[in-house]
């Protein structure tokens, strides 16, 4: 048979097989849900009737929830606590139990920081300050693995994981800082990502 025909058939089969397992994931970050509920927040449907938030999410077609995890949010500046920085491991495990019970999948977002991490700021957790790049990579691996083992034991292993949050310019500055338009420091940043991914696997 012609090699081109064989390649074409193989490509079509690959597309068909890969398409069979395709699924649309829809959801949002509900990391603040328990904290807001403790403050008396109510969720209402389009008619104004109070509803269970998870039932409301299902009505909207959601099937996955994103949850952020900070290393030690108690070390975050006070103003950041007011902005919603409170998600330590026990908080996340309890929230994820509610998520799983309601029938949703989980996307876990490791911030690798005690507070907000985004393109404008990537604060190194207090416990990791001053570490060399090698030791920092080991710390990222151990922390990630320990968190995931604890979640698995609690029956809330995540289906998807973000290794770092909004890491356009790296993470855990200054050690892991990069410029996406420069070649500098990518080896260190790459090692940090590999450490996190290895722990996830």
Domain containing 190 equals: 24-200
Residue 6, domain member (yes or no): no
pLDDT in the model for residue 5: 43
pLDDT in the model for residue 22: 73
* pTM of the model as a whole: 0.86
Percent of the chain with pLDDT over 70: 90
Mean pLDDT of 62-78: 95
The pLDDT tens digits for 3-13 are 444 444 444 44
Mean pLDDT of 154-181: 97
Percent of the chain with pLDDT over 90: 82
Look up the CATH number of the domain holding residue 157.
3.20.20.80
Residue 164, domain member (yes or no): yes
Residue 155, domain member (yes or no): yes
pLDDT in the model for residue 80: 82
Number of domains in the chain: 1
Q: 71, 113 in Cβ contact below 8 A?
A: yes
The pLDDT tens digits for 184-195 are 999 999 999 999
Q: With cut-offs at 50, 70 and 90, classify the pLDDT of residue 77.
A: confident
Q: 135, 85 in Cβ contact below 8 A?
A: no
Residue 122, domain member (yes or no): yes
Q: How far apart are CA 4 and CA 36, in angstroms?
A: 60
Nearest C-alpha neighbor of 114 from the set 99, 129, 135, 136: 129
For 99-150, what is the HEC assignment? Answer: HHHCCCEEEEEECCCCCCEECCEEECCHHHCCCCHHHHHHHHHHHHHHHHHH
Residue 117, domain member (yes or no): yes
Residue 17, domain member (yes or no): no
Residue 69, domain member (yes or no): yes
């Amino acid at each position: 048979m012609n090699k081109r025909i064989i390649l074409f058939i193989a490509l079509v089969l690959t597309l068909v097989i890969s398409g069979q397992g395709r699924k649309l994931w829809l959801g949002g970050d509900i990391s603040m849900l328990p904290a807001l509920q403790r403050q008396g927040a109510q969720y209402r449907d389009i008619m104004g009737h109070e509803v269970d938030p998870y039932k409301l999410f299902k009505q909207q077609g959601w099937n996955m929830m994103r949850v952020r995890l900070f290393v030690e949010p108690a070390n975050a500046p006070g103003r950041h606590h007011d902005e919603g920085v409170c998600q330590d491991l026990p908080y996340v495990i309890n929230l994820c139990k509610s998520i799983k019970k309601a029938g949703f999948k989980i996307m876990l977002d490791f911030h690798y920081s005690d507070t907000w991490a985004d393109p404008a700021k990537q604060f190194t957790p207090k416990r990791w300050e001053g570490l060399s790049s090698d030791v920092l990579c080991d710390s990222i691996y151990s922390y990630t693995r320990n968190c995931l083992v604890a979640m698995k034991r609690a029956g809330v292993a995540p289906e998807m994981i973000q290794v770092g949050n909004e890491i356009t310019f790296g993470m855990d500055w200054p050690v892991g800082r990069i410029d996406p338009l420069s070649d500098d420091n990518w080896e260190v940043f790459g090692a940090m990502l590999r450490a996190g991914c290895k722990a996830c696997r």
